Every structure is written in C-alpha cells, then in structure tokens.
Amino acid sequence: MAIKRNSGQAAIKERPDMELPYKKIKDGIRVTVKVEPRSSKRAVSGVMGDVIKVKLTAPPVDGAANEQLVEFLSETFRVKKSSIRIVKGISSKNKVVEITGISGI
C-alpha cells in the first residue's frame, strides 16, 4: 500500500520513535490534541506532556479544521471517520477526541 505524502501514516513514520499518549475508554481510546491550523502540511508535530500536537492545513473557520482533524486521525489510525468524535473543544485549539474500535496506538 502506497502512502500519500500528506497522509497521517507518513507523518507518524517520519517520527517512529514518538510515543503518542492516550487513555483507554470502554469502546476505544481518548486522546488530547492541540490543533495548529493553517500550517503548511498535515502532520503530528510532536507530543507535549499528554497532548498530541497536530498540524492541519485547514483554517479554523466553519468547522473546516475539525473536519480535517477527523479525516487526518481516520487516516492515521486506520479507522472510519464515524469512529472519531470530538467530545470537548469544538471551537478551541485544545480538543479531546474519542476514537472507538481500537484499543491502543
């Protein structure tokens, strides 16, 4: 399977030593994300404590960055978009996201 240049898997493979923090929940995992909108590329840019920093190309207007975050996480963790839900921080750069159907990263 070829990896697109801007795909989430490529972003993770650039930094294979990076451990991504998460908490297990009943049906999946919960991650805390800090979004950096209007970046030049989509990628995981690092980890700060228990927060995953994610760069997105979309602007934070009309939910575009939230939509791109869901798409990016879907590609990164290879789950359906419907398995990803932003549970806190819809209008903030700091978000809590639940991903169902997986038990770890």
Per-residue pLDDT reduced to its tens digit, 20-78: 899 999 999 999 999 999 999 999 999 999 999 999 999 999 999 999 999 999 999 99
Q: Is the pLDDT of residue 86 over 60?
A: yes
Q: In whole angstroms, give the CA distance from residue 95 to residue 85.
A: 10
Q: In whole angstroms, give the CA distance from residue 32 to residue 40.
A: 22
pTM of the model: 0.82
Domains and CATH numbers, the chain: 19-100 (3.30.1200.10)
Phi then psi for residue 70, to 5 deg, are -60, -45
Phi then psi for residue 46, to 5 deg, are 160, -175
| Residues listed for the chain | 105
Closest CA to 95 of 10, 36, 28: 36
